[in-house]
A and B are shown apart, each in its own frame.
Chain A
């Protein structure tokens, strides 16, 4: 299951990434394996999404979210 499949309010724990380049950036922003992620909202047009991670809110595109595999 990937992050892009979560609905608003659902949570998941990061397991791994499918995209190395993206993973470097995501990890720098606190999206690390083992970290809990909660989808806090989805943009009015369905993309991007906003997630709650490491104590703050991060927005990323659906495609980027689909590179994050959850446990």
Chain B
């Protein structure tokens, strides 16, 4: 899709930038990646009143052009990079009218880059309510740019903003804000000459950021470094001087254009909520209550849509089987691709609901308070208040949670969070646990209220949190910090969640999950399908021949015979051979080769365990009927000893293995994507496998 004009949205966090983006573009948006970095790039399109089509890029929220996190670092490089065709023709700076002073800092920086700019003054209605009077025309006149009051939540002023975008000039009109050159006169001149630019602020930004900017050649970057040495440029001192100069400009600007009452109303009602929500006792109780409600909801509300998706795929598989001519190609499509696709799609409800909650908690401002309350505890174990969100998200799925660690500015804190998030009990472990617990734990109550099976499940969830905390604490000593950690964070005023944003966030995350994780899961499903459907030599033919003899065909019902053949085939397939091959290794954990097959096939995704068990123990081929799988597993006997295979020890040993092992190809893929270094997922895979083996071994021998 070609656009006639490219517009970038820039603003502080919590200014309603995303809401404005949604109001401008509607569902006409997509998420991609900025080239070379893993920062989500949100792009949408809108029709301007003059008939032109505008491409809107939503840049990550930032307080200044000097980046503090991975996401923020993209803002300057997009605005400055002229060569790759991503740089905007126009920048819309969104300012929160209730907090103009701090918001204007970013505006003055963007304005000094001399890109055409207009201001969207958001929440002007809230500012009015709080008794803040803003002389919009006077500000526009003083800055030399159009200022459009909007209310993104109520979709007010959007038409006017579109008008302003279409009338915007191709040339810059804004007044200079501060005397940039005064900060480092000789250096700015020298760099400007070096890169042939006539914009002093651009030159100054290069002096600060040249090491991380991709569009500079190594020679240019080195040359800038030399110049810095020559003129003894001190980056932090220069930044400090610049910030002070900018705030003094802003104070002058606001002096006779904005009148603020002594105490803003909004703040005081926010204060009252804070007194309860960050109370030293109620604060934690409320947080725990919200978490409990969240998990209840994730499981309860997703049950129906999940079974709907499952039956839809069963129906599709049945339909395809009827249409397609039988053969290996049909099998590959139905049992490999469609089955894999079903394994991905079935998680959409849980991911959507989790992100609905996260988005509501973030939107209302509560998440910032959680971070505020939890920082001290989290810091003790090497994490950070902001790690709470990914860890909670880990209960649903590690994939989106690891993606959400990008908000953690500190490199070490972020890495530790990524490393431990997959330990948290994700929803894919749930079917494995429920199957095994139902198998060995009696379904009765103790002390009237506590169901033993429920307690066992809760125990597994708690264990995952405890292990994540301990492993994080270990990593705290292993990893070296790259920069100092700090925790300077805005606590935004409480606001009602914007339901539009919640819906967009659900849709976006589900889409990202399907596209990112889906690829890997389907690929691995296909590989595993091949492994379990083919065998070396003529093994399959021999099995078929064997069971085709009258002694079997006459005495056994065809349906039963088919199942026996299927299970015999699986034992002799490549997967079965692998299962046998790893048996000596997993024997100390109490596992036999059949469980070995399940361990191998569930590498792609843990929940495949249930399906594999169904095939191995040759039930009706219907993996959804957990009861029937359970029955067969309960009856399974060890051929040598005649004892049941699934004893308490084996079942718990298996659960330990699933609790710790990195049985998730999508997580491996997303960790690589986020760290851009294979050593991270490799280290994670290694430590988790060791933990899994040790824990399973220990539990098996304790319970045996």
Contact = CB atoms under 8 A, between A and B. Distances in A.
A58 B376 contact: no
B283 A44 contact: yes
Contacts of A28: 63-64, 66, 105, 243
Nearest to B132: A55
B680 interface: no
A46 B278 CA distance: 12
B278 A57 contact: no
A64 to B, nearest CB: 6
A24 B65 CA distance: 13
Interface in B136-189: none
Contacts of B489: 58-60
A5 interface: no
A61 B372 contact: no
Interface residues of B, number: 45
B101 A30 contact: yes
Contacts of B102: 29-30, 54-56
B679 interface: no
Nearest to B368: A59
B491 interface: yes
B479 interface: no
B236 A24 contact: yes
B224 to A, nearest CB: 20
B244 A41 contact: no
Contacts of A32: 243-244, 247
Interface in B587-646: none
Contacts of A45: 280, 373, 376-377
A23 B239 CA distance: 10
Contact of A29 (B63, B376, B377, B385): B63
A71 to B, nearest CB: 17
B274 A41 contact: yes
B490 A24 contact: no
A22 B2 CA distance: 44
Given A43-B278, A60-B489, A23 B240 contact: yes
Nearest to B106: A28
A25 B484 contact: no
B542 interface: no
Interface string B257-273: 00010001001001100
A1 interface: no
Interface SS of A by simple majority: mixed
Contacts of B239: 24
Contacts of A23: 240
Contacts of B244: 27, 32-33
B135 interface: no
B421 to A, nearest CB: 23
A54 B96 CA distance: 13
A44 B487 contact: no
B703 to A, nearest CB: 38
A46 B490 CA distance: 18
A39 interface: no
Interface in B462-490: 484, 486-490
B488 A57 contact: no
Nearest to B130: A55
B124 to A, nearest CB: 15
Contact of B372 (A29, A43, A55): A43
Looking at B264, B281, B489, the one whose CB has the most chain A CB atoms below 10 A away is B489
B68 to A, nearest CB: 7
B490 A44 contact: no
Looking at B237, B375, B491, the one whose CB has the most chain A CB atoms below 10 A away is B491
Contacts of B68: 25
A66 B64 CA distance: 24
A54 to B, nearest CB: 5
Interface residues of A, number: 32
Looking at B63, B280, B372, the one whose CB has the most chain A CB atoms below 10 A away is B372
A62 B578 CA distance: 56
B95 to A, nearest CB: 13
A11 interface: no
Contacts of A22: 486, 488
B98 interface: yes
A58 B101 CA distance: 14
Contacts of A60: 486-489
B284 interface: yes
Given A43-B376, A48-B376, A55 B264 contact: yes
Interface in B241-260: 243-244, 247, 260
A21 B240 CA distance: 9
A55 B66 CA distance: 22
Contacts of B283: 44
A39 B335 CA distance: 62
B474 to A, nearest CB: 23
Nearest to B486: A64
B490 A58 contact: yes
A57 B368 CA distance: 11
Nearest to B264: A55
Contacts of B271: 40
A27 B385 CA distance: 22
B280 A44 contact: yes
Contacts of B237: 20
Contacts of A20: 236-237, 240
A32 to B, nearest CB: 5
A27 B278 contact: no
A26 interface: yes
Given A21-B484, A25-B68, A28-B243, A58 B491 contact: yes
Interface in B484-530: 484, 486-493
Interface of B: 63-64, 66, 68, 98-99, 101-102, 105, 236-237, 239-240, 243-244, 247, 260, 264, 267, 270-271, 274-275, 278-281, 283-284, 368, 372-373, 375-377, 385, 484, 486-493
30 contacts: A20-B236, A21-B484, A22-B486, A24-B66, A24-B236, A26-B488, A28-B66, A29-B488, A30-B105, A33-B244, A41-B274, A41-B275, A43-B372, A43-B373, A43-B376, A44-B279, A45-B376, A45-B377, A47-B376, A48-B376, A55-B102, A56-B99, A57-B270, A57-B492, A57-B493, A58-B488, A58-B490, A59-B368, A59-B491, A64-B487
Given A50-B491, A56-B102, 10 more contacts: A20-B236, A22-B488, A30-B101, A41-B274, A44-B280, A52-B267, A55-B98, A55-B99, A61-B486, A64-B486
Interface of A: 20-30, 32-33, 40-41, 43-48, 50, 52, 54-61, 64
* 8 tightest Cβ-Cβ pairs between the two chains A and B: A44-B280, A57-B491, A45-B376, A27-B243, A30-B102, A24-B239, A61-B487, A28-B64
